[in-house]
């Protein structure tokens, strides 16, 4: 959904994340919903961790054991497949984003949390 959002004109990463989340949420398909909400939880909890690691840990522990297992499996998969090329690619892509007006670079993906909070305040939930 994120990549499709780019194709229809959402250039900034946090905007594509939001559009992708909203599209996935609107499908009603359980796989899309799970993926979208898990992705947003990971962004939100990562941002929270930077401010309050104890609160982030508490929220993580509040997830169901199956969701925590999925997160561990995702992290293990990423760890197994991470190479030096990924490190270089991340640095190059961060620079590309900065040169194209996204001041936070690769960290701009996580800025979607601000939009999620706005939706939460407006709708009373996400």
Short-list 17, 56, 55, 53, CA closest to 37: 17
Round to the nearest angstrom and report the end-to-end CA distance of the chain. 17
Task: Label residue 109 by pLDDT band (50, 70, 90).
Answer: confident
> With the CA atoms of 53, 15, 41 and 74 taken in that order, what torsion angle do they form, in degrees rounded to the nearest 10?
-100
pTM: 0.85
Rounded alpha-carbon distances, angstroms, from residue 64 to 5, 9, 27, 31, 114: 30, 36, 23, 17, 25
Residue pair 21/40 in contact by the 8 Å Cβ criterion = yes
Averaged pLDDT for residues 55-83: 97
| Residues 82-99: tens digit of each pLDDT | 999 999 999 999 999 999
Percent of the chain with pLDDT over 90: 79
């Amino acid at each position: 959904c994120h990549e499709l959002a780019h194709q229809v004109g959402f250039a900034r990463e946090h905007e594509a994340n939001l559009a992708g989340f909203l599209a996935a949420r609107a499908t009603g398909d359980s796989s899309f919903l799970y993926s979208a909400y898990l992705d947003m939880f990971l962004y939100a909890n990562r941002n929270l961790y930077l401010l309050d690691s104890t609160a982030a840990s508490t929220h993580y522990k509040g997830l169901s054991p199956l969701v925590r297992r999925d997160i561990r499996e995702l992290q293990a998969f990423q760890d197994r497949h991470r190479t030096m090329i990924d490190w270089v690619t991340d640095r190059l892509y961060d620079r590309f984003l900065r040169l194209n007006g996204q001041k936070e670079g690769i960290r701009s993906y996580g800025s979607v949390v601000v939009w999620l909070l706005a939706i939460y305040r407006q709708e009373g939930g996400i």
